[in-house]
Amino acid sequence: MKNIAIILSAGSGQRFNDNLPKQYHKINDRMVVEYVIDEVKKSKLIDDVVFVASNFYLAIFLCEQYGMRFVEGGKTRSISIANGLDYIKEHYPNVEKIIVFDSARPFVKSYLISEYMDLLDEYDGVITTCAITDSLGDYENNNINRDNYYLIQAPEAFKFRVIYEYFDRNSSITSMVQQLPVGSNIYQFFDFPNNMKITYHDDLEIARVLMSSKEDDEE
């Protein structure tokens, strides 16, 4: 097995603030995370799926239902990622490429997964980037040119040996790519359409509307 997906589904969703973590809430008839699982499973370029989650019945149930490997998550997102990477190191001796998803981003599409995996033939990493369209400020009122910056989102994809060499589970850096050395051979993917993340409760309502209109389009 050469290409492995990690779906990050641990974390308690403090900003969402609900007994049930946000990724297990429903948009129409399916859980947020099921939209991610479906697209990953649809991709012909993914050989196996590692599901990093808190150990409770719903996560275990999903792993059985969708044929994913369960790995226990950690206190921070970086620790959850590192647990997934260690599992891959141990169980997939022939791994070449990995791609890491947030369970809370339900708009991913399998054709994008294929593009990321193909780009890894040429690059060590592929990251999801988003141009800044609002004004950018700092806390001292400096003028900042937003064209010099972009947002980094999930998914992020890497050659396994490269990310495994540099990834530190205790780092305070929140994107994986920034744990690689400056000047690494990285592709910035700006063309991901609508990659919203469920963060607050209101985001779920917005995602429901967007998902319905998208499903209408596809009919």
Residue 74 near residue 160 (C-beta atoms within 8 A)? no
Residue 63 near residue 71 (C-beta atoms within 8 A)? no
Q: How far is the CB of 141 from ligand CTP (least distance, A)?
A: 28
Among 13, 106, 125, 155, which residue interacts with ligand CTP (rule: CB under 6 A)? 13
* Contact map string, positions 78 to 117, toward ligand CTP, x by CB under 6 A: --x---------------------xxx-------------
Q: How far is the CB of 137 from ligand CTP (least distance, A)?
A: 22
Instruction: Report the residue number, 34 or 123, with the smaller CB distance to ligand CTP.
Output: 34
Which stretch of DSSP H or E encloses residue 64? helix 57-66
Instruction: Annotate 10-47 with DSSP letters as a single string.
Output: -S--TTT--SS-GGGSEETTEEHHHHHHHHHHH-TT--
Instruction: Report the residue number, 34 or 102, with the smaller CB distance to ligand CTP.
Output: 102
| Chain residues 33-52 in contact with ligand CTP, contact rule CB under 6 A | 52
Contact status: 15 vs ligand CTP (CB under 6 A)? yes
With contacts defined by CB under 6 A, name the span among 2-10, 125-133, 134-142, 185-193 that binds ligand CTP: 2-10
Residue 39 near residue 7 (C-beta atoms within 8 A)? no
Which stretch of DSSP H or E encloses residue 185? none
- Return the residue matching tokens 């149930």: 61
Which residue ranges make up the site for ligand CTP (CB under 6 A)? 8-16, 23, 52, 73-77, 80, 102-104, 197, 199
